[in-house]
Chains A and B, each alone.
Chain A
Amino acid sequence: MNTRLGVLVACLAAFAATPATAQELYGTLKKVKEKGEIVMGHREASVPFAYIGPEGKPIGYSIDLCDKIVDKVKADLKMPNLKVKQVPVTPQTRIPLLANGTIDIECGSTTNNLTRTQQIDFLAVTYITGTKLAVKKGSGIKEIEDLKGKAIGLALGTTNEKAIKSVADQLKIDLKYHMVKDHPQGWLALETGRVDAYATDDVLLYGLISKSKDPSKYEVVGRFLSYDPYGIMVRRDDSAIRLLGNTVLADLMRSGEMQKIYDKWFNPGPTNIKMPISADLKKAYEIQALPY
Chain B
Amino acid sequence: MAMKYNWDWSVVLCRAPEQAAAVTGGSGAQLPGGVSALAGGAAQTFDTGAHCAQPYFDWIVSGLGWTVVVSIFAWMIAFTVGSVVGVARTLDQPWVRRGATAYVELFRNVPLLVQMFLWFFVVPELLPKETGHFLKRQLPLPEYWTAIVCLGFYHASRTAEQVRAGIESIPRGQTYAALAMGLTTPQVYRYVLLPVSYRIIIPPLTSDFMGIFKNSSVGLTIGVLELTAQSRQIAEYTFNIFEVFTVTTVLYMLITLIVSTIMRFVEKRLHIPGTIALGGN
Residues of A at under 8 Å CB distance from B?
31, 91-92, 95-96, 99-101, 115-116, 118-120, 151, 156-158, 161-162, 178-181, 185, 188-189, 192-194, 235-238
Point out the residues of chain B lying under 8 angstroms from A236, CB to CB: 4
Evaluate whether A179 and B3 lie within 8 angstroms (CB atoms) in the complex, with A161-B236, A192-B125 already known.
no
**Cα distance A272–B219 when bound, in Å?**
35
**Cα distance A90–B84 when bound, in Å?**
42
Point out the residues of chain A lying under 8 angstroms from B232, CB to CB: 92, 156-157
Chain B minimum-CB-distance residue to A182: B221
Q: Are A162 and B237 in contact (CB under 8 A)?
A: yes
Point out the residues of chain A lying under 8 angstroms from B72, CB to CB: none
With contacts A31-B1, A99-B4, A185-B221 known, what are 14 further pairs, Cβ within 8 A? Answer: A99-B3, A115-B238, A115-B239, A119-B6, A119-B240, A120-B4, A156-B232, A156-B236, A157-B233, A158-B236, A192-B136, A193-B136, A235-B4, A236-B4
Report B112-131 residues with CB < 8 Å from chain A CB. Answer: 121, 124-125
Tally B residues with Cβ within 8 Å of A: 29
A-B contact pairs, 14 of them (CB 8 A): A92-B236, A115-B238, A115-B239, A119-B240, A156-B232, A156-B233, A161-B233, A180-B222, A188-B121, A192-B124, A192-B125, A193-B133, A193-B136, A235-B4
**Cα distance A194–B222 when bound, in Å?**
12
Shortest Cβ distance from residue A228 to the other chain B in the assembled complex, whole angstroms: 14
Chain B positions 234 through 272: 1 when the CB is less than 8 Å from some CB of chain A, otherwise 0: 011111111000000000000000000000000000000
Q: Are A157 and B223 in contact (CB under 8 A)?
A: no
**Cα distance A37–B42 when bound, in Å?**
51
**Cα distance A44–B62 when bound, in Å?**
32
Q: Are B242 and A194 in contact (CB under 8 A)?
A: no
**Cα distance A151–B233 when bound, in Å?**
19
